[in-house]
Copies of this chain bind each other. A is one copy, B any other.
Amino acid sequence: MKSLRDLVDDCNNVPHSLDRWVAELNAARRQGADDDGPHGFAFLTADGVRVGLLSPPVTAALAAESDAITVVSATELEVTRHASDGADAFAARSQRLAAITARWRAASRFPALQGWRDELYTVYGAGGVPAFTVERAASGLLGVRTYGCHLTAYTLPVGAAHPHPDLHLWIARRSLTKPTFPGMLDNTAAGGLPFGQAPFECMVRECAEEASVSEEFARDNVRPAGAVSYYQRQDHLPSLGGVAGPETQFVFDLQVGDDFKPVINDGEVHGFKKVRVDAALELMRQGEFKPNCAVVLIDFLVRHGYITAENEPDYLEIVHGIHRPLEWEFPGPARF
């Protein structure tokens, strides 16, 4: 049985001294290497600002792309801004990275690209301005910050307020054929935030796509409630040799009545069930949830007074572990 702290630590498991961690990993690698070239972990930069962390195989592959990437040092690669890009370095960088990742996909260079989504993620650079876009399936390769939206739909007895022992949470089981975390438990609806869409619009769309919730109902009742952030080693991508993802999930609550029932729609979800809060906590502790979905539920239960300083010894470590200040490492959006 996992503690709540274990669940948070599973999700937020990159040491907070990122520079030191990377230096140690590279020092260990170099003991067996015969040169000091860009083959270890390296930071990816744009306009001199760090935007991602590359694993050794991706570092080596990107360093060879001399038209798009400048090798600044063994531990820093720069997404090149050519003089000819003029004002639109954003478009030029995005196009070059799109060409590279498409080529890697065609050559089956990285298994992660087999999950190609035809969906763009935005990577923010200096001043929170978009530096480039990248295909969603390739974002993990670049170790860039990514964003998503997660919804928790719940019922309370009529007239009851949080916290109440008869709180019920609608949880999803992921499709058994999903490439990542198949069959694990998930929040009511969730999805990655694509280029050009703001979080609320994304959440409303995902409600319809994943749970058949009408746009009108979602727009009137879905409530923004903050964000969780964590930095997680992507152990489900072992071929990348230790890549890590700094992720932010905008969280939304949706109180519904007993007549509400989410319905599967787009094949991402195997099915839904409504579970009492005590049973949900039990499932979390048994490790049944996709790790970041457990973190979203933990945040919900802290905000609504179910997890408290009195009943949870690791209360502050949990509150802080789910709100990692990722801006300390990489810029985020100045706005959506």
Interface residues of A (CB under 8 A from B): 16, 128, 161-163, 198-200, 223-227, 229, 248, 250, 255, 302-305, 308-310, 313-317, 319-321, 323-328, 332-336
| Complex CA distance for A162 and B222, rounded to whole angstroms | 10
Taken together as a complex, chains A and B put the C-alpha atoms of A229 and B308 apart, in Å, by 16
Contact B163 A223 (CB under 8 A): yes
Q: Is the interface of A mostly helix, strand, loop or mixed?
A: mixed
Cβ-defined contact, A304 with B199, below 8 A? no
Task: Please determine whether B226 and A319 come into contact, CB atoms closer than 8 angstroms.
Answer: yes
The 30 listed contacts between A and B (C-beta, < 8 Å) are A16-B325, A161-B223, A162-B223, A163-B223, A198-B310, A199-B309, A199-B310, A200-B310, A224-B305, A225-B304, A226-B302, A226-B303, A226-B319, A227-B316, A229-B319, A229-B320, A250-B309, A303-B303, A309-B336, A313-B334, A314-B334, A316-B326, A316-B332, A317-B332, A319-B323, A320-B323, A320-B325, A320-B326, A320-B327, A321-B325
B313→A335 contact, CB < 8 A: yes
**Bound CA span A308–B327, Å:** 18
Query: Is the pair B316, A248 in contact by a Cβ cutoff of 8 Å?
Result: yes
- Chain B residues with Cβ below 8 Å from A303 are 225-226, 303
B317→A224 contact, CB < 8 A: no
A198–B310 Cα gap in the complex (Å)? 7
- In the bound assembly, the distance between CA atoms of A16 and B324 in angstroms comes to 12
Q: Which 10 residue pairs of A and B lie closest in terms of their CB atoms, listed nearest first?
A: A323-B323, A320-B325, A313-B335, A223-B305, A224-B308, A199-B309, A224-B305, A316-B332, A226-B302, A227-B319
- The residues of B that contact A314 with a CB separation of less than 8 Å are 334
CB nearest neighbor in B for A334: B313
CA gap between A315 and B255 in the complex, in Å: 23
What residue in chain B is nearest A128 (Cβ atoms)? Answer: B313
Q: Specify which chain B residues have a CB less than 8 angstroms from the CB of A317 in the assembled complex.
A: 327, 332
The chain B residue sitting closest to A322, CB to CB, is B323
> Which chain B residues lie closer than 8 Å to A309 at the CB level?
198-200, 224, 227, 250, 336
- Among A223, A225, A316, A327, the most chain B Cβ lie within 10 Å of the Cβ of A316
Question: Given known contacts A226-B303, A227-B309, A309-B336, what 11 new A-B pairs fall within 8 Å (CB)?
Answer: A162-B223, A199-B308, A199-B309, A199-B310, A224-B308, A224-B309, A229-B320, A310-B336, A316-B332, A317-B327, A319-B323
